[in-house]
Amino acid sequence: MPLEILGRMYEKANREYYAIGQFNFSNLEFLQAAVEAAEEMKSPVIVALSTGAIKYGGIKNLVALTRTMAEQVSVPVALHLDHGEKIDDIKRCVDAGFTSVMIDGSHHSLDENIALTRQAAEYAHGKGITVEAELGRLGGIEDDINVDERDARLTDPDEAVRFVKESGCDALAVAVGTSHGAYKFKGENRIDFDRIKTIKSRLGIPLVLHGASSVDAQSVAQINEYGGKIEGAKGLDAESYARAIKNGINKVNIDTDLRLKWTAVLRKIMHDKPGEFDPRKFLGPARDAVKEIIKEKMKLLGSAGKA
């Protein structure tokens, strides 16, 4: 199929309370893993590029690869800009053929975030492209944080109503206690599921969960066994996905889990096969392992079978 507009995928996900996975990539293999997983699971899929990934792979190369791969499968594939911070990022990606863009003004004041997001929405909507915005600041909820400090960081439902009305965004990334990377929680997983429910009931639009990797203990153990050093890493469990989705999350962003699995496989093969120097012998198995992780996520998110 040609690349799909993300807004079209959201309609069914929002109605039927499941989430579509966003899988970040910056190379051929992660993209193949995501698109092949989607085809095999009969799942819609969102593949995403950060501005760093675009710089690494080249926007024309990455868009052409994604388009070509999407055209060879029967399931919908959306190409999304992850955490665009400037209006120029948005214009560049919309013009290059992305079917969804994120404008992340979460580090600005509410008024500035609204103004920036509105500008992005006007441009993207003019070309039929979906817009995600972010309100609140991502970060784990530590045990010793007090309620006022916590509320100052997490997405405020009243502000969210005003934000969406005035900015015109189509989907909202909410801060509910998750954070990017491999070190999300010090103690117990603390996610404010009630906040997701409240915001969903007030807005009705698709909500997005960033920083949603599970930080698989097996991958971390394998990395450490074969020379790596990753300590105190912790992410979301399967139960958290289910609760977040039940309360209204329709898009779940995953990058760290893919990177960890990739690194674990590469470290082991390089250790086990010291005479090997054909890159395909390393990258192929790593790609297959990433694909399996993505298939598992599609089952957990409820998107499997929905394409």
- When asked if residue 210 is in the footprint of Zn ion (CB under 5 A), the reply is yes
187 binds, among ligand 13P, Zn ion, ligand G3H, none (CB under 5 to 8 A by kind): none
d(CA 24, CA 160) in angstroms, rounded, equals: 26
Task: Give the nearest distance from C-beta 253 to Zn ion in angstroms.
Answer: 5
Task: Give the nearest distance from C-beta 256 to ligand G3H in angstroms.
Answer: 7
- Cβ proximity to Zn ion, 210 vs 267, nearer residue: 210
Give every CB contact of residue 189 below 8 A, 6+ residues apart in sequence.
Answer: 234, 236, 237, 240
Piece of 54-62, 72-80, 156-164, 204-212 that binds ligand 13P (CB under 6 A): 204-212
Task: Give the footprint of ligand G3H on residues 36-75 (CB under 6 A).
Answer: 50, 52-53
Sign of CA dihedral 108, 109, 113, 119: negative
Sign of CA dihedral 303, 106, 135, 169: negative
DSSP annotation of 176 = S
Q: What is the DSSP annotation of 30-65?
A: HHHHHHHHHHHHT--EEEEEEHHHHHHH-HHHHHHH
Task: Give the nearest distance from C-beta 208 to ligand 13P in angstroms.
Answer: 9
Task: Give the nearest distance from C-beta 282 to Zn ion in angstroms.
Answer: 28
Residue 122 has which token pair? Answer: 């006007």
Q: Which regions of the chain does DSSP assign to beta strands (E)?
A: 20-24, 45-50, 77-84, 100-103, 130-135, 171-174, 207-209, 249-254
Residue 288 annotated as catalytic: no
- Cβ proximity to ligand G3H, 31 vs 75, nearer residue: 31
- When asked if residue 124 is in the footprint of ligand 13P (CB under 6 A), the reply is no
8 Å CB contact between 117 and 133 = yes
Give every CB contact of residue 128 below 8 A, 6+ residues apart in sequence.
Answer: 5
52 binds, among ligand G3H, ligand 13P, Zn ion, none (CB under 5 to 8 A by kind): ligand G3H
d(CA 184, CA 199) in angstroms, rounded, equals: 22
- When asked if residue 80 is in the footprint of Zn ion (CB under 5 A), the reply is no
- When asked if residue 300 is in the footprint of ligand 13P (CB under 6 A), the reply is no
212 binds, among ligand G3H, ligand 13P, Zn ion, none (CB under 5 to 8 A by kind): ligand 13P
8 Å CB contact between 30 and 283 = no
- When asked if residue 82 is in the footprint of ligand G3H (CB under 6 A), the reply is yes
- Cβ proximity to ligand G3H, 25 vs 163, nearer residue: 25
Residues making contact with ligand 13P (CB under 6 A): 24, 82-83, 180-181, 210-213, 253-257
Residues making contact with ligand G3H (CB under 6 A): 24, 50, 52-53, 82-83, 180, 255
Which active-site residues does the annotation give?
A: 82
